[in-house]
Structure 1
Amino acid sequence: MARLLDLRQLDLEQIDAVHGRGTSWLYPLAAAMSGATAGIVISGGQLATATSAGAAAAPSGAAIAGAFVSDAALVLGLASRSVGHISLLYGYDPEEPAEKLFILSVVNAGTAASASAKTAALSDISRLTQSLVRGKTWEVLDRSVISQVSKQFSKAFGKRLTKQGLGKVVPAVGVLVGFTLNWTTLESIVDVADVEYRRRFLIEKYPHLANEEIPETFSDDLSDDADEAISVLNELAEAGGPDLR
């Protein structure tokens, strides 16, 4: 095939035939290793305190904060790359401005832990899907708008991941918590990406599906209502982009 766009002319069975399963474990594994490392930095000093050097061995507040920030940035980078990888499999260019918004929305949905946060994220994805399938123009999405949206999302994502990863500060189990949390986070994002890109791929080929309720199949725990909702479309409108809310 000469163009990425040509992939969208294939049948879904043909897409599945070359899909592969690398994204289902490669990105989660890389994120898990980062989480384990952050757990060592955050809780490792506390173990040392208990066994040898006393209070001087405890990690400083700056070290703990730095570990959280670095881990969140790496997880967001891996998340964006994993979703971008899946977008390519379905024939969508992750470097396109509108696609970057879709990727952020998928990452948002994959990390939402409460019912309200999940609802807001899925609403963003649905509205973006409708706009993209209908061919709405995106000329106003210049680099500065995308940059502002990405920056604001990164801040909100970092806060969310930090809240979810507070178990990393517990001595002895911090490494396990970091490894497990990051693995499940990336695994959830990859699952959401595959579902949403399949849905968009099918809606583009069969537009009548856009008018039907398509059930979402996610198994995340939605009981933690302390998880703050994040809306990429809100950030887009506030940055001067089109208001799709």
Structure 2
Amino acid sequence: MGDPSEYELAAWRDIQRFKGRPLSRVMRSAGEQVAAGAAELGKRATKYLENHPRAQSAVSRGQEIAAKGAHKVSAGARGAADALPDWSGAASQSIRKTVGRVSRAGLSSQRVVARHKKRGHDVASLADLRRLDLQQIDAVRGRAASWYYPAGAALSGAGAGLVISGGQLVIAASAGAAAAPSGGAIVGAFTADTAVVLGLASRAVGQVSLFYGYDPEEPAEKLFVMSVVNAGTASSATAKNAAMADISRLTQALFRGKTWKTLNEAVVARVSTQFAKAFGFRLTKEGLGKAVPAVGILVGGTLNWTTLEGIVDAAEVAYRRRFLLEKYPHLADEEASGSFPDVGPDVPDDADEAISVLGQLAEAGGPDLR
């Protein structure tokens, strides 16, 4: 198909250099660290007062509140860990249904094609977009998705943090045990927040896919969307490498035009269920800081913002890379090793469990592309 334009070559070089946003990388494991640190602080403060009865009897009401608050920080962080959703059953099913509703609403390939026609681009169908110059794609795509999806997720995360940790604030101030959020409330808040985040993530990646000429409703494209969400949320090197391998292999398989005879909606639905379960566990573990009074609201909002921000970035890189490789296969010969959103050096390898969408696909009865 000829040689890439200067604009496309510059975009390709940007893809090779892209390493993700520092804040997004740091926040992946911050929630769990905040919960662990707060629990330890609470235990130490409580133990000190228990071992010094004179000091305890001498403190003012304000100090008593602080002591009770420290104890509740510890209890809240531990309580969240004890009352997390069981992602093996109804919770993951609830997420999958929510994702299905949220991710499809309002996405239209006809609308994208119409926007290109309005700019004078010679296209008749979504597939025609893939032969345009990348500069033409960017002229229509815009950058709004890079902030309104993260903003929506941040609101959900802050709300979850309020539900999970808000009762602990009341306890610290009034010592009213009845104000504590129940295990059901914690489970419900985590489940609902995860459903919203995964729904927004799937919708964000689906919207990006449309702008590059790919239909997210196709069974094979749904696998690619899940792989991108996986890459955008992975925090450890092992988890990131597994996600990157999935994207690379799927890109090659889709480019070669595999028949996908064993791939149908039933297989994709089974993969979606397994992915929702694994994603729910990952997001819940990263979001344990939502259980810490007051800080939980900030952690919830910030973590969700950076999560969606990382997913949108991963989608941009993955689809731009795929778009250019399909037009100019020779670019693969000069591709830099490990070029994709990277993890920070301070993220331990055991901080995140690897998820392989292609592994789940093979287990669900689909083609084995590993």
SS of alignment partner, residue 44 of structure 1 = helix
Q: Superposition pairs for residues 98-177 of structure 1, below 5 Å?
A: 98-177=220-299
Amino acid at match of 2:344: D
User: Where do 5+ consecutive residues of structure 1 fail to align?
Assistant: none
**Structure (1 or 2) with the larger CA radius of gyration:** 2
Task: Give how far 1:207 is off.
Answer: 1.6
Deviations 1:18-39 (A, max 9, x none): 1111110010000000000000
Amino acid at match of 1:177: V
User: Where do 5+ consecutive residues of structure 2 fail to align?
Assistant: 1-122
- Distance in 1 between residues matched to 2:160 and 2:178, nearest whole Å: 19
- Distance in 2 between residues matched to 1:129 and 1:82, nearest whole Å: 19
- Distance in 2 between residues matched to 1:120 and 1:148, nearest whole Å: 20
Task: Give how far 1:209 is off.
Answer: 2.3
Pick one of 358, 361, 365 that aligns with 1:233: 358
Instruction: Indicate conservation of the 8 Å contact 2:168/2:179, yes or no.
Output: yes
- Distance in 2 between residues matched to 1:219 and 1:239, nearest whole Å: 29
SS of alignment partner, residue 221 of structure 1 = coil
- Distance in 2 between residues matched to 1:121 and 1:221, nearest whole Å: 16
Task: Give how far 1:156 is off.
Answer: 0.2
Q: TM-score when scaled to structure 1?
A: 0.97
Task: Give how far 1:43 is off.
Answer: 0.3
1:75 and 2:200 are equivalent in the alignment: no
Runs of 4+ that moved beyond 4 A = none
Instruction: Indicate conservation of the 8 Å contact 2:262/2:366, yes or no.
Output: yes
Identity of aligned residues (%): 71
Task: Give how far 1:142 is off.
Answer: 0.8
Match of 1:189 in 2: 311
- Distance in 1 between residues matched to 2:204 and 2:232, nearest whole Å: 12
1:51 and 2:173 are equivalent in the alignment: yes
Mean CA deviation greater in 154-163 or 133-142: 133-142
- Distance in 2 between residues matched to 1:48 and 1:181, nearest whole Å: 24
Pick one of 27, 32, 39 that aligns with 2:161: 39
- Distance in 2 between residues matched to 1:211 and 1:235, nearest whole Å: 29
- Distance in 2 between residues matched to 1:160 and 1:172, nearest whole Å: 23
- Distance in 2 between residues matched to 1:79 and 1:221, nearest whole Å: 22
Match of 1:216 in 2: 339
Amino acid at match of 1:5: A
- Distance in 1 between residues matched to 2:199 and 2:211, nearest whole Å: 19
Deviations 1:110-162 (A, max 9, x none): 00010000000000000000111111112321111000000000000000000
Mean CA deviation greater in 37-46 or 215-224: 215-224
Task: Give how far 1:211 is off.
Answer: 4.0
Task: Give how far 1:224 is off.
Answer: 3.0
1:243 and 2:365 are equivalent in the alignment: no
- Distance in 1 between residues matched to 2:268 and 2:223, nearest whole Å: 8
Amino acid at match of 1:155: K
Task: Give how far 1:213 is off.
Answer: 2.8
Pick one of 321, 337, 342 that aligns with 1:199: 321
Amino acid at match of 2:324: L
Match of 1:6 in 2: 128
Instruction: Indicate conservation of the 8 Å contact 2:240/2:343, yes or no.
Output: no
SS of alignment partner, residue 18 of structure 1 = helix
Instruction: Indicate conservation of the 8 Å contact 1:130/1:210, yes or no.
Output: no
Instruction: Indicate conservation of the 8 Å contact 2:237/2:343, yes or no.
Output: no
Amino acid at match of 1:242: P
Amino acid at match of 1:68: F
Task: Give how far 1:217 is off.
Answer: 4.2
- Distance in 2 between residues matched to 1:39 and 1:111, nearest whole Å: 19
Aligned-residue CA RMSD (Å): 1.2
Q: TM-score when scaled to structure 2?
A: 0.65
